[in-house]
């Protein structure tokens, strides 16, 4: 698959690459797993050699042996002596960088925590000593938000303040998904929505579905739910390592959110335990969920819901994790029957989410979200506000156009509009067929 989008991120990497002619430069590159960090870091934005170190779950000595092979191959130098510590290796690299400019990509940088936490102190000590006399662009890639934030943003950690650039890589925007479908000559409104629904713009999922020539809902689900599918263990492989021994509680919370139990009180009543700490960590440390408050509510308002940020993870917890017994029994046909039976109910919120993303791309509004009152009364799918022009757009979104009702929408918005007195009001009714009108 060709390399899409990422122009802004590439400009940052090009700038950092240029600056290393003066002194060494460090870039922190973070993003959820599968979003395309490694592919971005290894793009051709430099004329100098690129060293790529992947920090796998091995001993420090074995990692050093692997890294030495990469140095010999890419820099065409000889390495003498027995290097078994990363501190020794990093100092050797910095010595080379006094005369040879190059890029060093260290992937899964946070894994050093598990191998030897003192490596970060060693890097800090040597970086501070050699930075001004060397010419490295050091790119530290990490996919576990909590650990990468700790490494670079906790003022008690050795690498605090050492990054010169930060890239937080996000999934592709809907306009890029449309471009991919058009490049494959398969764009329809339905395909666009379904492609967004099951990839959420995450590069790895897009790459796999494109490889399989799978662009519509039936084909995508057939590929997800099949023997030896790469998707079936996705949630576990992405999250168990982050959550550690408490993963069972976190998985239960995420499964309930994916099944529309989106308030703290609903989840706690089912799990029969206080989960405020878990919700805070899922949102602030792991970046897996986000809290949503009704448009127009005060900052300290207690009325809020939660949603899973990643579309595919929401699907995985709703259907794969929930029906794990069917997978273990290899009853894939039964599971597919359940998915096709329930998928439209699942889809509804994601059509709203897609339209919200499309409105954001238009950059016409100062705030976009949804609205509801206590007890989930008077729910409004999309509210977009332009505080500069004093305008408010109120939308109802349905999969089926025939279910849209302007009269009900106007009635439900009465209390909301009291918060926006003096604003010009516009109402819109949106369904799948309207997607083509909102995507550039």
- pLDDT exceeds cutoff 80 at 2: no
**pLDDT at position 440:** 67
Q: What is the mean pLDDT of residues 293-322?
A: 91
- pLDDT exceeds cutoff 80 at 300: no
pLDDT tens, 310-338? 999 999 999 999 999 999 999 999 999 99
pLDDT tens, 391-413? 999 999 999 999 999 999 999 99
**Residue 35, CA distances (Å) to 27, 38, 52, 205, 404 in order:** 17, 9, 18, 9, 35
SS3 of the chain: helix, strand, coil, percent, to 5: 50, 15, 35
For residues 77 and 98, the answer to whether their CB atoms sit within 8 Å is no
Work out the percent of the chain whose per-residue pLDDT is above 90. Answer: 80
For residues 426 and 392, the answer to whether their CB atoms sit within 8 Å is yes
- Backbone φ, ψ for residue 26 (5° rounding): -120, 135
Compute how many other C-beta atoms are within 10 angstroms of the C-beta atom of residue 228. 5
Which of 110-119, 185-194, 290-299 has the highest mean predicted lDDT (pLDDT)? 185-194
Distance CA 339, CA 231 (A): 15
Work out the percent of the chain whose per-residue pLDDT is above 70. Answer: 100
Superfamily name and number for 7-168 = P-loop containing nucleotide triphosphate hydrolases (3.40.50.300)
pLDDT category at 204 given cuts 50, 70, 90 is very high
- Backbone φ, ψ for residue 373 (5° rounding): -115, 170
**pLDDT at position 79:** 84
Indicate the class that CATH gives domain 360-437. alpha beta
* Fold matches, 7-168 and 360-437: no
* CATH code, residues 234-329: 1.10.10
**pLDDT at position 175:** 93
- The token pair at 120 is 């970060």
**pLDDT at position 1:** 63
DSSP-derived letter for residue 308 is E
pTM of the model: 0.89
pLDDT tens, 159-173? 988 999 999 999 999
Which secondary structure element, helix H or strand E, spans residue 103, and what is its range? strand 102-107
pLDDT tens, 231-268? 999 988 888 877 878 889 999 999 999 999 999 999 99
Q: What is the mean pLDDT of the chain?
A: 92
- pLDDT exceeds cutoff 90 at 99: yes
Distance CA 306, CA 73 (A): 48
Domain ranges of the chain: 7-168, 174-224, 234-329, 360-437
132 CB-near residues (< 8 Å, 6+ apart)? 23, 24
pLDDT tens, 27-74? 999 988 889 999 999 998 899 999 999 999 899 999 999 999 999 999
């Amino acid at each position: 698959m060709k390399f899409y989008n990422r122009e802004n991120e590439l400009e940052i990497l090009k700038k950092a690459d240029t600056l290393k002619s003066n002194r060494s430069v460090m870039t922190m590159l973070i993003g959820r797993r599968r979003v395309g960090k490694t592919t971005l870091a290894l793009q051709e934005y430099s004329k100098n050699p690129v060293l790529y170190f992947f920090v796998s779950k091995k001993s420090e000595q074995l990692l050093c042996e692997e890294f030495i092979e990469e140095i010999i191959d890419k820099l065409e130098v000889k390495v003498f002596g027995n290097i078994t510590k990363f501190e020794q290796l990093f100092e050797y690299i910095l010595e080379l960088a006094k005369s040879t400019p190059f890029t060093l990509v260290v992937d899964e940088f946070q894994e050093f925590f598990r191998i030897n936490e003192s490596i970060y102190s060693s890097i800090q000590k040597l970086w501070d000593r050699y930075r001004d006399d060397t010419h490295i662009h050091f790119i530290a890639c990490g996919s576990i938000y909590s650990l990468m934030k700790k490494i670079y943003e906790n003022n008690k950690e050795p690498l605090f303040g050492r990054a010169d650039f930060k890239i937080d890589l996000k999934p592709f925007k809907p306009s890029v998904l449309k471009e991919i479908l058009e490049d494959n000559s398969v764009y329809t409104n339905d395909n666009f929505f379904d492609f967004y629904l099951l990839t959420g713009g995450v590069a790895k999922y897009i790459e796999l579905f494109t490889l399989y020539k799978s662009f519509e809902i039936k084909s995508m689900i057939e590929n997800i739910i099949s023997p030896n599918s790469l998707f079936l263990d996705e949630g576990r492989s992405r999250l168990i390592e982050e959550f550690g021994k408490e993963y069972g509680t976190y998985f239960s919370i995420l499964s309930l959110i994916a099944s529309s139990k989106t308030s703290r009180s609903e989840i706690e009543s089912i799990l029969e335990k206080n989960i405020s700490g878990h919700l805070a960590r899922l949102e602030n440390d792991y970046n897996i969920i986000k809290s949503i408050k009704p448009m127009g509510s005060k900052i300290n308002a207690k009325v809020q819901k939660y949603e899973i940020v990643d579309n595919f993870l929401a699907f995985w917890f709703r259907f794969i994790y929930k029906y794990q017994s069917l997978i273990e029994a290899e009853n894939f046909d039964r599971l597919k029957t359940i998915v096709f039976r329930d998928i439209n109910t699942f889809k509804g919120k994601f059509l709203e989410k897609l339209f919200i993303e499309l409105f954001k791309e238009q950059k016409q509004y100062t705030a976009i979200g949804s609205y509801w009152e206590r007890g989930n009364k008077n729910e409004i799918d999309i509210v977009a506000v332009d505080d500069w022009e004093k305008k408010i757009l109120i939308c109802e979104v349905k999969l089926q156009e025939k279910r849209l009702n302007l009269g009900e929408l106007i009635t439900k918005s009465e209390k909301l509009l009291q918060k926006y007195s003096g604003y010009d009001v516009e109402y819109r009714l949106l369904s799948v067929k309207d997607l083509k009108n909102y995507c550039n």
